[in-house]
Amino acid sequence: MSRAVALRLGAFAGVLVLAFAGAFAIGSAVDPIAAADTLEPAPAGDGMGGMDGMADPAGEQGGHGEGHGDASAQPPGLAVSQAGYTLVPATTFFQPGQKTPLRFTITGPDGKPVTKYTKTHEKDLHLIVVRRDLSGFHHVHPTMDAAGNWSIPFSFTAGGTWRLYADFQPAGHDQTLTLGTDVNVSGLYIPVPLSKPASVFSIHGYDVTLAGKPQAGKESELTFAISKGGKPVTDLQPYLGAFGHLVSLRSGDLAYLHNHPAEHAEPGTKGGPQITFGTTFPTAGTYSLFLDFQHAGTVHTAEFTVTVDADGTTIVPPTTLPSSSTTPGHDTTPHGH
């Protein structure tokens, strides 16, 4: 390479460095927390609550999701800050395939880390991690130190933008909050298309069927039935105080809904094969549903894609179950819990 060519390449590289530096400075000047706080917070009883399920018309939290409230209110999980509480990750850049501490704090209206919480379903805080193409779903439970710093060893499976949801209830606060923020994972990003709508999902030898009529803006009853080897599973184990946990994410903006069945699961009791939920989809659209259930000491996650419209489309389970043990979909690797 001639010296003249080298000098020209060096000058070009310098221009790139300056361009990236300028872009970083502009990006750093934007305050995402302040921007999020300009959004109208979802009031109690908005029909799209967090771990405690949906609020009934009287304003009381119910695991079954009684009442749908104001469907026009902003769904949870879209803002990094609400009611003075803010989700603050320690870093927003990660490497794929490396188990590293995922750290964050929840700051309160006084700007200090929150250290006292009201338990919701046996935990002070629930963390949902999912890539923005709705693959790689994880429902995990970090630990908090005395200073209010949360952390958990975590491995992001692929490059891309991932969404974090912190689901919690501060002590003294009258409702659960769901805050969301994005983090970046380096590496080649290959988006995974959503699975087609189906009424059965098979994983680890279990077949899970879905029945119901999801309808936009109205409470919908969804029933999941779990079987293994062609036989109904009648000894589901309690997991975080319930026989099942259902997280629904709206494709596009990843609005968050989380509900639990009406039946509370006491330690030592058995459930199944059916788990019924009441949930309200705020708008028409495509939603990814993630059902956690525990059997034989292991938590499994079934994934469904559901199309929701104004009139509601009835979902009917198949008369025969697939012969394969795993239904192709977003991510059939074990999920973290």
User: Residue 262: what pLDDT?
Assistant: 72
The residue to which tokens 């060519």 are assigned: 5
pTM value?
Answer: 0.79
The residue ranges of every structural domain in the chain are 32-185, 200-308
User: Residue 16: what pLDDT?
Assistant: 36
User: Residue 66: what pLDDT?
Assistant: 32
Q: Please answer whether residues 236 and 245 qualify as being in contact, where contact means their C-beta atoms are separated by less than 8 angstroms.
A: no
Q: pLDDT grade, residue 263 (50/70/90)?
A: confident
Instruction: Give the residue with greater pLDDT, 320 vs 38.
Output: 320
Q: Average pLDDT of 297-320?
A: 95
DSSP one-letter string for 231-253 = EE---BBPBTTBS-EEEEEETTT
User: Residue 336: what pLDDT?
Assistant: 56
Question: Is residue 8's pLDDT more than 50?
Answer: no
User: Residue 62: what pLDDT?
Assistant: 36
Give the C-alpha separation, 198 to 200, whole Å: 6
Choose the weakest-confidence range: 33-47, 100-114, 249-263, 315-329: 33-47
Q: pLDDT grade, residue 32 (50/70/90)?
A: very low
Give the C-alpha separation, 20 to 36, whole Å: 25
Task: Specify the DSSP element, H or E, that contains 27.
Answer: helix 3-29
Give the C-alpha separation, 67 to 219, whole Å: 7
Q: Average pLDDT of 58-75?
A: 44
For the chain, give the mean pLDDT: 81
Can 32-185 and 200-308 be said to share one CATH topology? Answer: yes
Tokens of 16: 């790139």
DSSP one-letter string for 127-151 = EEEEETTS-S-EEE--EE-TTSEEE
Task: Specify the DSSP element, H or E, that contains 164.
Answer: strand 160-168
- By the 10 Å C-beta count (0-12 exposed, 13-18 middle, 19+ buried), 14 is classed as exposed
Question: Is residue 96's pLDDT more than 50?
Answer: yes
Q: pLDDT grade, residue 17 (50/70/90)?
A: very low
Q: Average pLDDT of 262-276?
A: 91
pLDDT digits (tens, 9 = 90+) for 224-243: 999 999 999 999 999 999 99
pLDDT digits (tens, 9 = 90+) for 288-308: 999 999 999 999 999 999 999
Give the C-alpha separation, 118 to 121, whole Å: 10
Question: Is residue 36's pLDDT more than 70?
Answer: no
Instruction: Give the residue with greater pLDDT, 51 vs 14.
Output: 51
Q: pLDDT grade, residue 203 (50/70/90)?
A: very high
200-308: what CATH class? mainly beta
Question: Is residue 198's pLDDT more than 70?
Answer: yes
Which CATH number is correct for 32-185, 2.40.50.140, 2.60.40.10, 1.10.3720.10, 2.30.42.10?
A: 2.60.40.10
User: Residue 73: what pLDDT?
Assistant: 72
User: Residue 311: what pLDDT?
Assistant: 94
pLDDT digits (tens, 9 = 90+) for 141-193: 999 999 999 999 999 999 999 999 999 999 999 999 999 999 999 999 999 99
